[in-house]
Amino acid sequence: MGLHLLSFFMIVLVGKILAQQSSYDENYNVAFGADHVWSQHEGKDVQLSLDQSSGSGIQSKMSYSSGFFHFRIKLPDKDSAGVVTAFYMTSHNGNELDFEFLGNREGKPYLVQTNVFTNGVGGREQRIHLWFDPTASFHTYRILWNQHQIVFFIDYTPIRVFKNRGEIGVGYPTQPMQVEASIWDGDNWATDGGETKIDWNHAPFRAHFRSFGIDGCTDNFGTGCYSSQFWWNREEYWSLSRDQESQYETVKQGYMNYDYCNDTQRYPTAPLECPQ
């Protein structure tokens, strides 16, 4: 294990300890579906549920302009086709960083879709198969965001990198964003392109969340949030380490289900940020 990766793990470990000490009420409010949100164990666990009457969601009280954001999540089990569980960051005016967990028929694997919206432009979907059962236990899903790169992690493994390529005209999120989590009805698109619908006989569908601590900068003007006083802005986090690059390649080669950069029907000319 490289020194860079080891130091990263140590920071994450400290962050985990701090997160375990943070209750839901300290950093989050209900966003919608209040009667489908249950806080448990003195706010250390939150359950979001979906039935035919409503889904549910929570959102951070503050907006952030850079940071390292995470949840520990256990996804709905059994037959969850059409159900979308999401962890994302949004400015509500065109910038968004998405983890979307796409449910499936019982026995079939979950897909995780990530997306990046900048200045209202999205269409940057990537999907991977998970290499574990996300319904059996909690796993940690993380987003690192600084002025150089956005990295999506599952546990300690990077699964997506979006670099700041402003020099060639690629948009990059710079506005403050809130952290949100939700569960909702996505059966018009989420499973088999919308062909497989939700079986409401299995409702309510329940997603469980832990770790409500946030490592983020709340300077809404943004510039101060690029300071190296925040560990996630230091030079070692401007790119992946060698070990992380190797892990990332393993994910892309072994688990990638869809990459918009390779969709020539949708994009006859590859988007600027894609490898040329």
Tell me the per-residue pLDDT of 126-137, one tens digit each, with 9 for 90 and over.
999 999 999 999
Residue 22 has a pLDDT of: 82
Distance CA 190, CA 264 (A): 21
Residue 123 has a pLDDT of: 96
Q: Which of 138, 36, 131 is nearest to 77 (CA)?
A: 138
The confidence band for 15, taking pLDDT boundaries of 50, 70 and 90, is very low
Tell me the per-residue pLDDT of 77-127, one tens digit each, with 9 for 90 and over.
989 999 999 999 999 889 999 999 999 999 899 999 999 999 999 999 999
Exposure b/e, 198-222, CB count within 10 A at least 16 = b: bbeebebbbbbbbbbbbbbbbbeee
Residue 16 has a pLDDT of: 44
Instruction: Locate 10 and state its tokens.
Output: 């140590």
* Helix or strand (DSSP H, E) at 182: strand 178-185
**Would you please indicate which residues are annotated as catalytic (active-site) residues?**
96, 100
pLDDT > 90? residue 141: yes
The confidence band for 276, taking pLDDT boundaries of 50, 70 and 90, is confident
Domains of the chain (ranges; CATH) run 3-262 (2.60.120.200)
On whether the CB atoms of residues 58 and 208 are closer than 8 A, the answer is: no
Tell me the per-residue pLDDT of 172-197, one tens digit each, with 9 for 90 and over.
999 999 999 999 999 999 999 999 99
Q: What percent of the chain has pLDDT over 70?
A: 91
Residue 275 has a pLDDT of: 86
Bridge partners of residue 45, in order along the sequence = 40, 210
Maximum Cα interatomic distance, the chain, rounded to a whole number of Å: 52
- Rounded to two decimals, the pTM is 0.92
The confidence band for 53, taking pLDDT boundaries of 50, 70 and 90, is very high
The H-assigned helical ranges of the chain are: 3-20, 24-27, 242-254
Cα 26–chain centre separation: 21
Mean predicted lDDT score pLDDT of the chain: 92
Mean pLDDT, rounded, for 215-235: 86
User: Phi/psi class of residue 176: alpha, beta or left (left: φ > 0; alpha: ψ in -120 to 50)?
Assistant: beta
Q: Give the Å distances, CA to CA, from 5 to 10, 162, 242, 258.
A: 9, 19, 9, 28
The confidence band for 18, taking pLDDT boundaries of 50, 70 and 90, is very low
Residue 156 has a pLDDT of: 93
Looking only at the bridges linking them, the beta strands covering 96-102 and 83-90 are antiparallel
The confidence band for 7, taking pLDDT boundaries of 50, 70 and 90, is low
User: Phi/psi class of residue 228: alpha, beta or left (left: φ > 0; alpha: ψ in -120 to 50)?
Assistant: alpha
Mean pLDDT, rounded, for 222-230: 85
Lowest mean pLDDT among 38-47, 160-169, 211-220: 211-220
